[in-house]
Amino acid sequence: MKSTFNIYQKGTIQAEIGFYFYKIHIMGRFRQEVEIINANDTALLKAGYIKESEVRQMKVEMMVDTGAYMICINEELKNQLGLEINDRQEGVLANGDRHLFDIAGPIEIRIHNRRTISEAIVLPGNAEPLLGSIPLEAMDLLVDPKMGQLVVPKDRPYIAQTLIL
């Protein structure tokens, strides 16, 4: 699925969101195919209430932005996955304006042989989805800026490693 709306277009709400949710980095940005799944559907499948064919899931290209904290999806993706709004959070835009953003989920994120479950910030309209640093760290994925891709660490290719304090 390709977004027709450039969130980095100057003067748009999406270009200004960066103040707290993410920072826009011109250098080193790239897109990654990401599988996103309604995690509630996965739980219903495991409990035997729905069939595998009823699990709402899709593959989308997301902009990888390590300055972003969370995963950010647009309203279209939220609706296609049937995600529920769990909360609203205030975001302060780069120009100082404050807006409320829906927080939807739970959403399962899969890349390569890694997965995590998170909530997602819902951006207005058909804004370009973003993959931020928290899900990347949870999946123990590394950014290879030279190749423009996410990679699994060579010393732990089969299972994610988490730092526990």
Statement: residue 101 has pLDDT above 50: yes
User: Would you state the pLDDT for residue 19?
Assistant: 39
- pLDDT at residue 2 in the model: 35
Query: What contacts 138, CB < 8 A, 6 or more positions away?
Result: 116, 118, 160, 162
The average pLDDT across 64-74 equals 88
What was the pLDDT predicted at 95?
Answer: 66
Q: How far is CA 10 from CA 65, 90, 115, 147, in A?
A: 18, 21, 33, 27
- How far apart are the C-alpha atoms of 73 and 122, rounded to whole Å? 5
The answer on pLDDT for 5 being more than 50 is no
Looking at residue 15, its pLDDT comes to 44
Higher pLDDT, 26 or 148: 148
Cβ pair 148, 27 in contact under 8 A: no
Mean pLDDT confidence for 81-93:
88
pLDDT digits (tens, 9 = 90+) for 14-65: 444 443 344 444 455 789 999 999 999 999 999 999 999 999 999 999 999 8
Per-residue pLDDT reduced to its tens digit, 118-147: 999 998 888 899 999 999 999 999 999 888
pTM equals 0.78
> What DSSP string describes 57-118?
EEEEEEEE-TT--SEEEEHHHHHHHTPEEEEEEEEE-TTS-EEEEEEEEEEEEEETTEEEEE
Is domain 30-144 annotated with CATH 2.40.40.20? no
Highest mean pLDDT among 22-26, 79-83, 97-101: 79-83
Give the list of residues 6+ apart from residue 127 with CB closer than 8 angstroms, or none.
Answer: 3, 5, 7, 14, 72, 74
Query: Which amino acid is present at 97?
Result: D
pLDDT of residue 4: 34
